[in-house]
Amino acid sequence: MYIRRTTIKSRKDGTKYFAYRFVESKRIGKKVRQNTVLNIGANFSLPRDQWPTLCSRIKDIIGGQKNFFQINEKIELLAQDYAARIIQTRTEIKKESKTDFHEVDINSLESQRPRSVSCEHVALETFRFLGLDKKLKELKFTAPQIAAAMGTIIGRMCQPGSELSTHHWLQNKTGLGELIDHDFNKTSLYRMYQVSDMLLKYKKPLEDFLFTKEQSLFELGETITLYDLTNTYFEGSGLYNELCAYGHSKEKRSDCPLVTLGLVLDGSGFPKRSEIFKGNVNEASTMAGMIQGLQDDVLLEKPTIVMDAGIATQDNIEWLKTNLYPYIVVSRKRHRQFDEEQSHVVKEDDNCIVKAQKIIDPDSGETLLYCHSTLREKKEQAINNRINDRFIEAISNLEQGLHKKRYVKKYDKILERIARIKQKFSKASKQYEIEVQKDKETGNAIKITWNHKPALKTKEGLPGIYCLRTNHTTLTESELWRTYTMLTDLESVFRSLKSELGLRPVYHQITDRVSGHLFITVLAYHLVHTIRYKLKQSGVNISWDNLRQRLTGQSRITISMQCKNGNIIHVRKSTRPEPEQQKFYKALGLDMHPGKTIKKTIQNEQK
């Protein structure tokens, strides 16, 4: 075997470049034929004087020969990689094949090149189930570009990270390439960035296609629309990014520039549309544009818009009314009204009881739903207790300082300090009466006392109460409350995007690359939610992170063995899935053994 270098002329610009391949000579009768063993491509930089060493080492690995000499580390890594790829080039045993007996030396058995396939198998079949591969082909993606798109999106699901880390994962850790019959070792990092740009270019048709497909596959009715925003931070200055801005970070990273992702979901949790905004965008100002872009004019009935209080400004409410959208939002009013005798239980379990009372607002005609949650009441009381403790601690420290040297004692100064403490802990200060005794001779404060006065349960101060406002008039208390609680699903989506699918942090600095990174994560979430939705239909409710961990373990692996007749047999196949993995595969209707079985026999040359 040897390496042949061929000069190739580019079809695009006519420039010339070199392509490389491994070739072997075989005598057939009186003729000698040269067969290509493996195409290397143009990405091959090993010096020419080291080619014979590389070919010799590859031949030893394939033939099961041990190496007794020190080999350059770079040559050894290349030899191991090329030998594995050569072994996988010819399929001699298919899954439907029957028995194939050989007498082998069990001491010669070796396993090599393990590559993970379980999570990839689930993600790939979902990619195909949604028809995303066919859609990319329809959008004029070439076969290598479709493979790169698969690798990018599935990589974000299975090994969340940047495009750079995904590229390394595709070339060194995963068997995804074997499942789609593509060699990712020939895929450059530039191709990964290129496909990110292409996916972003076709953002709208891809989102429209996926949402329509999901609605059709699962026969979902589009009756609810959930809208919210989140942000993520940059690693770097972000100087070259138009969307980069400092703002309120949801991860408490005020030291980093931010970018904001807006997401619209239906009631089943499938994304309808995403949009990327500046990091300091006002949440309320984004709603009209996002909802308006959904092309709801084709719908027979406009969906109910569900939003939290941060977006539900009065202007946005008026916009929804003007455009005839039904809505359910959290009221911004501090006034809290709740009559337990007039309320109905909408949720009851061991952890929490929620009661709701429906009232018609005479001024606006809206339905107001006052809800009392025992769990929320406990949380609010815990927060109030913590604030009260801090208030008492501050007053107590001030009082103790009256009896110590070099501490503030002047009466007027003490009153100023108390006023500041009251301002800082305004809610707690309302529950206490504070008196300061003054020494008439020195003009100093000599004692501070405080007495607790139990807070009256006014309409404004009832703990555990919140109010929803809606223009629905026929829905019951339970239906209104359960519809609004769907917004918690959107919060879990953002958690999944950030922690499970590598949305944060962002390492890119160019605007389109940042937008592409976020959009790839949204595409990955389409697949993740489809998987979880199908599992729920089979009675399996599990987070993606948990599912990914439980799928870990099944791999593609090559078993090499020496036969009694001197031949070397290499068999590459997937390991048997664990019982729990089989349960997931069965629920999703997937094959238990991803990838085909490949066998390559190396004949004994001395035979």
Task: Kindly state whether residues 375 and 505 are assigned to the same domain.
Answer: no
The pLDDT of residue 197:
93
Q: Which residue has the tokens 């789609």?
A: 180
Buried-state track 55-72, b at ≥16 Cβ within 10 A, e below 16? bbbbbbbbbbeeeeeeee
Paired tokens of 553:
């373990």
Backbone angles phi, psi at 426, to 5 degrees: -60, -40
248, part of any domain: yes
**Spatial CA neighbour of 251 closest among 493, 490, 499:** 499
Helix axes 143-158 and 544-551, enclosed angle (nearest 10): 100
The pLDDT of residue 565:
86
The pLDDT of residue 237:
67
Task: Kindly state whether residues 590 and 446 are assigned to the same domain.
Answer: no
CA atoms within 13 A on the CB side of 232: 24
**Spatial CA neighbour of 398 closest among 419, 414, 410:** 414
In what side-by-side order are the strands of the sheet with 568-574? 104-116, 555-563, 568-574, 598-602
What distances in angstroms separate CA 255 from CA 246, 247, 497, one per listed residue? 8, 10, 22
Q: Which residue has the tokens 């048709």?
A: 205
What is the rounded CA–CA span in Å between residue 503 and residue 583?
29
Q: Where a domain ends, among 436, 470, 504?
A: 470
Task: Kindly state whether residues 112 and 156 are assigned to the same domain.
Answer: no
* One-letter amino acid for residue 244 of the chain: C
482, part of any domain: no
What is the rounded CA–CA span in Å between residue 518 and residue 207?
13
CB 358 within 8 A of CB 477: yes
Cβ contacts of 400-409, under 8 Å, gap ≥ 24: 402/444, 402/445, 402/446, 402/447, 402/448, 409/444, 409/445
93, part of any domain: no
Q: Where a domain ends, among 505, 539, 573?
A: 539
Task: Kindly state whether residues 532 and 596 are assigned to the same domain.
Answer: no
Chain centroid offset of residue 43 CA: 32
307, part of any domain: no
The pLDDT tens digits of the residues spanning 375-400 come to: 988 998 898 899 999 999 999 999 99
The pLDDT of residue 361:
87
Backbone angles phi, psi at 276, to 5 degrees: -115, 130
Mean pLDDT, the chain, rounded, equals: 85
Report pTM: 0.74
The pLDDT of residue 607:
47
308, part of any domain: no
Task: Kindly state whether residues 81 and 127 are assigned to the same domain.
Answer: no
496, part of any domain: yes
Paired tokens of 399:
């009082």
Task: Kindly state whether residues 28 and 149 are assigned to the same domain.
Answer: no
Task: Kindly state whether residues 356 and 452 are assigned to the same domain.
Answer: yes
* One-letter amino acid for residue 449 of the chain: T
CB-count exposure of residue 273 (10 Å: 0-12, 13-18, 19+):
buried
Paired tokens of 473:
């008039």
- Grouping H, G, I as helix, E, B as strand and the rest as coil, residue 286 is helix
Q: Where a domain ends, among 443, 470, 497?
A: 470
Task: Kindly state whether residues 356 and 262 are assigned to the same domain.
Answer: no
Task: Kindly state whether residues 496 and 457 are assigned to the same domain.
Answer: no
Which alpha helices (DSSP H) does 88-239 contain, by range? Answer: 118-129, 132-138, 143-158, 163-172, 176-180, 189-201, 203-217
Residue 77: which domain range? 2-87
CB 84 within 8 A of CB 65: no
Based on the structure, what is the number of domains in the chain? 4
Task: Kindly state whether residues 399 and 280 are assigned to the same domain.
Answer: no
Mean pLDDT by 10 residues, the chain (607 residues): 86 82 82 84 85 86 73 83 76 54 87 92 96 95 95 93 90 93 89 93 94 90 75 73 75 76 84 84 75 53 81 86 87 75 88 90 88 89 90 92 89 92 89 90 90 62 82 88 79 76 77 88 92 91 90 91 87 91 94 88 67
What is the rounded CA–CA span in Å between residue 21 and residue 186?
13
The helix (run of H) or strand (run of E) holding residue 161 is: none
475, part of any domain: no
Task: Kindly state whether residues 219 and 201 are assigned to the same domain.
Answer: yes
Paired tokens of 378:
């406990």
Task: Kindly state whether residues 68 and 192 are assigned to the same domain.
Answer: no
142, part of any domain: yes
The pLDDT tens digits of the residues spanning 339-379 come to: 888 888 998 888 899 999 999 988 888 999 999 999 988 99
Q: Dihedral angle at the C-alpha atoms of 277, 278, 282, 284, nearest 10 degrees?
A: 0
Residue 372 sits at the vertex; the CA angle it makes with 542 and 227, to the nearest 5 degrees, is 50
